[in-house]
């Protein structure tokens, strides 16, 4: 029999029992929908992380004090006191792939402005920091090198600090108190949002000259971190190597001994985050995929019932000339129509749920064509796989017995 006729017959047979067909499809609909939504969530999260990492600045290399465990975990960050200001200067001067390096130290303090206070991170650094981070200012200007040399009490604040401390008031020129010391606000940074690499709110920070921080507030002489920007993205790995060998040299670390610092390339961080994201997406999809299997079992169950119910009909068809292949294809196609329709509706259902999640929970969702195509192929495969046994059973019926069936 030609395909179109078989398709029509299959459609009729399914339409005969609309409720039953819909209920059977439900398993597939939910299964496919869940997979699409989960993959959408996973990929959306991945994209979000990538964007956040990109927002941190390009060609970024972190040089941190303390050793680092393999795998990117910052264990012992800040544990050593061997990273010094001279290192930052040396990096800028002696590493050809480096564009700029900014020394960083930090502490956490309460800051006060006219009755309001806010507990935040005070970072000490130099003006080139804002270039290294590719971080423009929304208002005012960064403090200058002269401010650094004179340990001036000036501050550049992040958007979150501004919102919580100043509200509608313009912060420029205002005086805030940090550790009881008065500071003048000279600049407000553009909003950058959450940092996926560091796991904190980038806008919840204040930047003051490093000299001011270390001489007047925390009394340290060593650095927590040096943030370096490579000349180009391609240079970043070379820069990483140059910095490592330079610091090992400066810190007189013998061959075979671990570094007392770590050098982290932002590109690596992005890579790790991406892989983690991919694993999570796969995990979510697999769990959702289990429900697809259950849906397939539902199809097999219903098809078996259908075959038994239509034993007489199968006998008649065989008596008037249907071959085993004819009968088998008829039932197989019925199963495939069920699963494909369920798949199509499931895709719509999945996209719909994903959109709802985006709006209600503010989670980013990304639906890819690849996911949809995979879902379609999978639905078809489920239909064929789970429909095969019932179809075979139908084809193997003995016509004489079948005709006698009540």
Q: Where along the sequence are the contacts to another protein (CB under 8 A)?
A: 1-2, 5, 12, 16, 312-313, 315-326, 399-400, 403
Q: Residue 179, exposed/middle/buried by CB under 10 A (0-12, 13-18, 19+)?
A: middle
Residue 26 beta carbon to another protein: minimum distance, rounded to whole angstroms:
24
Output 315 or 383, the one with its CB closest to another protein. 315
Q: Report the relative pairing of strands 205-209 and 116-125 from DSSP bridges.
A: parallel
Residue 49 beta carbon to another protein: minimum distance, rounded to whole angstroms:
56
Output 162 or 317, the one with its CB closest to another protein. 317
Output 247 or 322, the one with its CB closest to another protein. 322
Residue 8 beta carbon to another protein: minimum distance, rounded to whole angstroms:
10
Q: Are 98 and 117 in contact (CB under 8 A)?
A: no
Output 10 or 318, the one with its CB closest to another protein. 318
299: β partners: none
Q: Are 273 and 197 in contact (CB under 8 A)?
A: yes
Q: Are 132 and 217 in contact (CB under 8 A)?
A: no
Residue 330 beta carbon to another protein: minimum distance, rounded to whole angstroms:
11
Q: Are 246 and 90 in contact (CB under 8 A)?
A: yes
Residue 403 beta carbon to another protein: minimum distance, rounded to whole angstroms:
7
Structure-block tokens of residue 41: 């969530």
Which residue blocks in 75-169 are alpha helix, DSSP H?
Answer: 85-94, 128-132, 145-149, 159-165
Output 268 or 326, the one with its CB closest to another protein. 326
**Rounded-to-integer distance, Cα 183 and Cα 317, Å:** 93
Output 16 or 20, the one with its CB closest to another protein. 16
Angle subtended at Cα 387 by Cα 384 and Cα 392, rounded to the nearest 5 degrees:
110
User: Which regions of 81-180 does DSSP assign to beta strands (E)?
Assistant: 98-113, 116-125, 137-140, 154-157, 175-178
Residue 333 beta carbon to another protein: minimum distance, rounded to whole angstroms:
14
Residue 321 beta carbon to another protein: minimum distance, rounded to whole angstroms:
2
Output 232 or 323, the one with its CB closest to another protein. 323
Name the residue with tokens 């423009």: 136
């Amino acid at each position: 029999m030609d395909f179109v006729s078989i398709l029509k017959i299959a459609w009729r047979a399914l339409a005969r029992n609309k409720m039953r067909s819909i209920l059977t499809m439900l398993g597939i609909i939910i299964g496919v929908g869940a997979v699409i939504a989960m993959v959408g969530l996973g990929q959306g999260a991945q994209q979000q992380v990538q964007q956040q990492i990109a927002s941190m600045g390009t060609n970024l290399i972190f040089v941190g004090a303390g050793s680092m465990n393999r795998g990117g975990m910052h264990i012992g960050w800040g544990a050593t006191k061997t990273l010094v200001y001279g290192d930052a200067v040396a990096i800028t001067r002696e590493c050809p792939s480096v564009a700029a390096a900014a020394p960083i130290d930090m502490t956490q303090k309460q800051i006060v402005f006219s009755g309001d206070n806010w507990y935040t991170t005070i970072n000490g650094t130099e003006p080139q920091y804002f270039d290294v981070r590719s971080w423009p200012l929304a208002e005012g200007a960064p403090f200058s090198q002269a401010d650094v040399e004179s340990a001036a009490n000036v501050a550049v604040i992040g958007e979150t600090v501004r919102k919580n401390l100043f509200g509608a008031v313009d912060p420029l020129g205002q005086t805030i108190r940090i550790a009881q010391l008065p500071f003048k606000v000279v600049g407000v940074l553009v909003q950058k949002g959450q940092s996926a690499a560091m796991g904190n709110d980038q806008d919840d920070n204040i930047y003051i000259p490093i000299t001011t921080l270390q001489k007047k507030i925390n009394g340290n002489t060593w650095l927590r971190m040096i943030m370096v920007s490579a000349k180009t993205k391609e240079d970043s790995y070379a820069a990483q190597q140059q910095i490592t060998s330079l610091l090992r040299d400066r810190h007189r670390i013998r061959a075979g001994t671990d570094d007392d610092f770590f050098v982290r390339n932002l590109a690596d961080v992005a890579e790790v985050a991406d892989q983690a994201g991919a694993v999570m997406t796969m995990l979510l999809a697999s769990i959702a995929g289990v429900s697809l299997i259950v849906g397939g079992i539902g199809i097999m169950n219903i098809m078996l019932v259908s075959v038994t119910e239509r034993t007489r009909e199968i006998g008649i068809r065989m008596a008037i000339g249907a071959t085993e292949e004819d009968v088998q294809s008829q039932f197989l196609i019925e199963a495939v129509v069920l699963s494909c329709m369920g798949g199509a509706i499931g895709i719509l259902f999945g996209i719909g749920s994903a959109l709802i999640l985006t709006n209600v929970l503010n989670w980013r969702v990304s639906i890819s064509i690849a996911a949809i195509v995979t879902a379609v192929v999978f639905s078809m495969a489920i239909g064929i796989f789970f429909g095969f046994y019932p179809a075979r059973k139908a084809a193997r019926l003995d016509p004489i017995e079948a005709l006698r069936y009540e």
